[in-house]
Amino acid sequence: MIYKQSLFFAIALVISVVSLANPAPVVSVASIEASGEKVVMTDQVYLEGRIVRRFERGTTLLYQSQVKVLRDGFVIEVSAGHPIQLGVVSVEKGTLIAKDLQGKLLWTEVLKSPLCVPELTAEFVRAHWSELAIGGTAVDCVVPIIKAKKVAPVKFVRLPDLQNGHRIVELLPGSFGMRFFLSPTKLTFSADGSRLLGQSGQFETTKDPAGSPSYLKGVGIVISPRDAWALSKGRFSGVSQTP
Helices (H), the chain: 2-21, 121-127
Each domain of the chain, given as residue ranges in start order, spans 24-236
Q: Quote the CA–CA distance of 210 and 191 in Å, as a whole number.
A: 39
pLDDT at 13: 39
Is the Cα torsion angle 194, 202, 76, 45 positive or negative in sign?
Answer: positive
At a CB cut-off of 8 Å and minimum separation 6, what does 84 contact? Answer: 146, 147, 213
What does pTM read for this prediction? 0.87
- Res. 3: pLDDT tops 90: no
DSSP state of 111: -
186-190, Cβ contacts within 8 angstroms, sequence gap of 24 or more: 186/159, 187/121, 187/125, 188/162, 189/122, 189/125, 190/166, 190/225
Q: Which is nearest to 65 in space by CA: 160, 178, 144, 166?
A: 144
- Per-residue pLDDT of 26-80, as tens digits, reads 999 999 999 899 999 999 999 999 999 999 999 999 999 999 998 889 999 999 9
Mean per-residue pLDDT for 215-224? Answer: 95
Q: How far apart are the first and last CA of the chain?
A: 51
